[in-house]
Amino acid sequence: MNTTIEVGMAPITEEEVVVHFGEQGLSDSLVSVLRNRIRRQVESAIGRSFLRCEVQLYGGKVAGPGLPTKPLNARDAHKSGWVEFSGVKVTIDTERDHSGVSSLIYRAPLTTRRVLGEAVWGNEQHLQEKPLKTKRRFVIKDSFLTMPSDFLPWTKEQVGACVCPVEWLFPEGRSTASVREYVVWFCPICGKRYLCACAEGLKEYYKNLVSPERGDGQLNILHQPLFEAELRADICHLCRDVPPTRQAYDPMYGGSRIKLYYLPYINQLGIQSGLDMLNKEHKREAENLLRDRIGVPRVGEGWVSETELYRTIRAIFPGRRIEREASPDFLGKQRFDIYFPDEGVAVEYQGEQHAGPVGRFGGRSGHERAVERDQSKREKAEKAGVQLVEFWYYEKITEEKVRKRLGKFLGDE
């Protein structure tokens, strides 16, 4: 029998987008929503018995004459009428003797595939079957899929009345400069650009680098997002005390984890302090300014407190849910210094009183009680399947040591 997979679209709600929205913007958020929808539609068509369903879908974008080169936003989408997604590929693996499925049909009744400029509705085709030794594989490829702009969460009226909520702004990354040198914030609803007020002075600095007399037209284009941005208070990672989750460059080029995620802010603080960002020593001083700002040790320095360890862990493992002084149910009245609840990883900073008697912490009896509590905590963590990682005050703790020790349990080695 034929099994039909309805890969149809319906209006996307703001709640759906919120779940996936982050520093990559609206395009990747919509891609995630549609991938999840297609997987659910496959499950609805053939049940949960499939071995694998892989959905490839790329690049939500708008196309049309006169539209500006900007990240995807609702204003430009409504001007175009469409949002296009390219490189559509759905791969489904089922058991070789999967009952009730002789072929799979891909139908897109509510979507369009644009052929030579025409919109073709009701596109339907059989998925190509590739028999394998131990399973059956069905594959469908489509050059692109288009979604009417009316399916976006925001109407034209809402776009016109947009106030650019801070929680919807994301860092623009269309050029090397806007990833490594500064952070321009972009509204996915109306397409406005902003620069955090704490970065005041950067516009003038880069405008002084651009000179039409020297033929710097390309530089002017490179920094155009910065020049267009309006100043707005308290929108950046530093002002909101939120760790960046976007890497500023490929990790293969080295450098600290702090630099990997905070490079544009290092550059910003260096420029504002009058440092020469082409000078190696000045770059190091700029990074130290950033470290002072976020409360982590300077380059090459070790930790002296649990607080600094927490801030550094949060900075080098961004985007993860981290709790401080956490007390999960299985721990009773005890607490973990730092806890990753989603990964089941806990961190303890063991101060001097945990290694030997210290007068100000109750001497010998205080040390004995600390040892008992530590052992109890280890046993409870083991029983609950939580990996407990301990750092001791006498260790020379470096960012690299923290990354390696925790990374193997967080899947980030």
From its phi and psi, is residue 332 left (phi > 0), alpha (psi between -120 and 50) or beta?
left
How far is residue 62's CA from residue 79's CA, in Å, rounded to a whole number?
9
Instruction: Provide the angle, in degrees to the nearest 10, between the axes of the packed helices 257-272 and 280-294.
Output: 100
Domains and CATH numbers, the chain: 2-160 (no CATH), 166-294 (no CATH), 319-410 (3.40.960.10)
330/213: higher pLDDT: 330
How far is residue 401's CA from residue 407's CA, in Å, rounded to a whole number?
10
pLDDT exceeds 90 at position 196: yes
Neighbouring residues of 387: CB distance < 8 A, sequence distance ≥ 6: 344, 345, 346, 381, 409
Binning pLDDT at 50, 70 and 90, where does residue 398 land? Answer: confident
Neighbouring residues of 274: CB distance < 8 A, sequence distance ≥ 6: none
Binning pLDDT at 50, 70 and 90, where does residue 356 land? Answer: confident
How far is residue 411's CA from residue 413's CA, in Å, rounded to a whole number?
6
**CA-based nearest residue to 322, from 310, 332, 304:** 310
Identify the residue whose tokens are 């902003």. 194
- DSSP string of 343-403? TTEEEEEE-GGGTS-BGGGTHHHHHHHHHHHHHHHHHHHHHTTPEEEEEETTS---HHHHH
For 164-192, the pLDDT digits (tens) are 999 999 999 766 677 889 999 999 999 99
413/70: higher pLDDT: 70
Binning pLDDT at 50, 70 and 90, where does residue 114 land? Answer: very low
Binning pLDDT at 50, 70 and 90, where does residue 230 land? Answer: very high
pLDDT mean across residues, the chain: 83
Distances in Å between the Cα of 77 and the Cα atoms of 58, 71, 85, 231 are 16, 11, 13, 25
pLDDT score, position 120 = 37
Residue 282 contacts residue 270 (beta carbons within 8 Å): yes
% the chain with pLDDT above 90:
38
pLDDT score, position 367 = 82
341/53: higher pLDDT: 341
- Give the residue-averaged pLDDT of 148-160: 92
- Give the residue-averaged pLDDT of 201-211: 85
How far is residue 82's CA from residue 76's CA, in Å, rounded to a whole number?
9
Distances in Å between the Cα of 179 and the Cα atoms of 197, 324, 335 are 18, 30, 38
Residue 126 contacts residue 105 (beta carbons within 8 Å): yes
- Give the residue-averaged pLDDT of 235-243: 93
pLDDT score, position 44 = 79
Please tell me the least confidently modeled range out of 23-32, 260-269, 377-386. 23-32
pLDDT score, position 270 = 96
Binning pLDDT at 50, 70 and 90, where does residue 121 land? Answer: very low
pLDDT score, position 115 = 34
* Overall residue count recorded for the chain in this entry: 413
- Give the residue-averaged pLDDT of 315-328: 91
pLDDT exceeds 60 at position 118: no
% the chain with pLDDT above 70:
82
3-state secondary structure of 68: coil
| Sheet order of strands, 230-232 included | 170-171, 185-186, 193-196, 230-232
Distances in Å between the Cα of 281 and the Cα atoms of 256, 287, 308, 367 are 15, 10, 24, 44
pLDDT exceeds 60 at position 110: no
